[in-house]
Structure 1
């Protein structure tokens, strides 16, 4: 696996320039993007794009951060902005890739759909449709309609596309939740999502649990109870997990030194970063990098 000094960021894969359009979305079939590349997409990430991959048939080896999976048949793969991802598809795999500018989804935070859509935006996941072809048969026409809206300039195209994207996300949420209703009420769910967003913005600043609680207008003890109920983790666990994910990304996908990575992640002492990393993973950063230096998918 070749390494660059930084993890590649793309607007769309292979296109280095960011499309500065807050209402941007793009849909294409898997073959058109990867077929001429040997059906392989090397590990990369998008700073401002949320992606959904819909596999109708075929096979895909998927890499999300340091984890690898092999999927066959009908699946949806959720890739939030910032997650390192790569793919190797079997030839003739049929599916679509939907890329959505994050600002296009921000209005959803203020709508009734928020409690359904927001959980899909913060964490990569896989959604299996192989034993639920009836649900997939509802999803696929929406994908085709979105593809049609993308292909032609028509009146109300943007609005129709936005409605279709939200309908797709709602169906994905239903399948992901598998009919189970979460125990947290609407206010608690909102606080949990806001906490995730705040951690994403401030984890390099090493905010304390008290600072996150203050920003959310609640007490530290109450916020920790919410985290235990929603995520089965404390606020500090969530903060450390986010730092650890970024540390692993940098060790695997860049050639920056451990010292450079530690400073980038807000550690003033590289030695403390190394101890933090070993305590969390059981391995010092250098050994983790060596063991992770294996052929990519």
Structure 2
């Protein structure tokens, strides 16, 4: 008999029951120390207020980020913002590190010169390929090793040094990310585009309109749509619907909540309207989507 799925597991660190309530918290460990004793598998889960970076130096990993799966070989960075459902199956002897950072520690960076580099990096889950840029990985790895040293020993200025190292690591990841992307907007527009993504994250359950987002950003709806299409190749409404659909899929795949409960959680007053919304974008009703989906077995 199949075990019913409950709410998506939230962890401080995977497999640990204690909750982390430290605004300056960070943690670093090698992949084997957490996954080796678990058959090199980390089941799907998510973290509240914890941002993770997996740096895979060599080996192979099957990754699940929300409803998407990917097989990666060689050298990669995997960016996992708070709230994203993620799971991993590593090939034995995969070499890499997992860095976990409390979101409040990163929020301080938003007020600094580093914000324009770091903030975009934290906005969504994605992969950064180092296989064609081993020289960049050679720059990154000593910083990771130094961060491990700061984590292992209590020394004067440890917290400050760790914060500087984390920012340096994020900046190098940003550089590598930009190597594979061609920016189509200027710096002001890029910042505003990511502010839009943050606002959608905070208000999509309230069903804000495009006009409300434009007002919040002090711009017009037409200009915000042009900015959104340039930065994300989607209109503001597309982004809103996409975020709502993502959360609906998460709940259908990873929880046992009814379609009605999910619809109310997402701010729909009528479950029937939610079902029509879901079917319009996926082609199937939510109940059938749940029955057909079997993603947790990566």
Cα drift, residue 243 of structure 1: 0.3
The aligned runs of 1:59-78 (5 Å cut-off) are 59-78=60-79
Alignment match, 2:94: 93
In structure 2, what is the Cα distance between the partners aligned to 1:152 and 1:128? 31
Pairwise CA RMSD of aligned residues? Answer: 1.3
Alignment match, 1:280: 281
The answer on whether the counterparts of 2:76 and 2:129 sit within 8 Å (CA) in structure 1 is: yes
In structure 2, what is the Cα distance between the partners aligned to 1:206 and 1:296? 33
In structure 1, what is the Cα distance between the partners aligned to 2:3 and 2:103? 29
SS in 2 for 1:212: helix
SS in 2 for 1:137: helix
Matched, 1:40 2:58: no
Alignment match, 1:9: 10
Unmatched segments (≥5 aa) in structure 1? none
Cα drift, residue 18 of structure 1: 2.2
The aligned runs of 1:176-255 (5 Å cut-off) are 176-178=177-179, 180=181, 182-255=183-256
Alignment match, 2:159: 158
Q: TM-score by structure 2 length?
A: 0.96
The aligned runs of 1:104-115 (5 Å cut-off) are 104-115=105-116
Alignment match, 1:79: 80
Cα drift, residue 3 of structure 1: 4.7
SS in 2 for 1:87: strand
In structure 2, what is the Cα distance between the partners aligned to 1:105 and 1:294? 31
The answer on whether the counterparts of 2:44 and 2:296 sit within 8 Å (CA) in structure 1 is: no
SS in 2 for 1:62: strand
Cα drift, residue 293 of structure 1: 2.5
Superposition misfits of 4+ residues, deviation over 4 angstroms: none
Alignment match, 1:266: 267
Cα drift, residue 185 of structure 1: 2.0
The answer on whether the counterparts of 1:3 and 1:253 sit within 8 Å (CA) in structure 2 is: no
Deviations for 1:231-256, whole angstroms, at most 9, x for unmatched residues? 11111111100000000000000111
Cα drift, residue 122 of structure 1: 1.0
Cα drift, residue 112 of structure 1: 1.7
In structure 1, what is the Cα distance between the partners aligned to 2:3 and 2:40? 18
Alignment match, 1:134: 135
SS in 2 for 1:53: strand
Unmatched segments (≥5 aa) in structure 2? none
Cα drift, residue 279 of structure 1: 0.6
The answer on whether the counterparts of 1:56 and 1:95 sit within 8 Å (CA) in structure 2 is: yes
SS in 1 for 2:21: coil
